[in-house]
């Protein structure tokens, strides 16, 4: 299948979808202050990108 999109699983694909990921909206949905637990290493938006990357990569494998 020919596509103008970058290959699945590449940083180029993430850079392409980056403008469509609403960082402020995603980050506003989770607390950023002290919650009594371990300090966070990543923002909610960064974790969303990882999940999106996995879903796109697995989808490529399933439907290939």
Structure tokens given for 51? 């999940």
Whole-structure pTM over 0.75, yes or no? no
> In which residue ranges of the chain is pLDDT below 50?
none
Q: What are the residue boundaries of the structural domains of the chain, listed by start? A: 11-32+40-62
Distance (Å, rounded) from C-alpha 6 to C-alpha 41? 28
What does the pLDDT read at residue 33? 73
The position carrying tokens 């607390």 is 31
Distance (Å, rounded) from C-alpha 9 to C-alpha 21? 17
What does the pLDDT read at residue 4? 80
What does the pLDDT read at residue 51? 86
Structure tokens given for 27? 């980050």
First to last CA, the chain: 9
What does the pLDDT read at residue 14? 79
């Amino acid at each position: 299948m020919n596509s103008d999109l970058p290959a699945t699983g590449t940083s180029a694909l993430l850079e392409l979808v980056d403008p469509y990921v609403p960082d402020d909206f995603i980050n506003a949905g989770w607390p950023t202050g002290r919650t009594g637990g371990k300090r966070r290493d990543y923002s909610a938006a960064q974790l969303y990108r990882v999940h999106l990357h996995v879903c796109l990569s697995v989808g490529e494998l399933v439907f290939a």
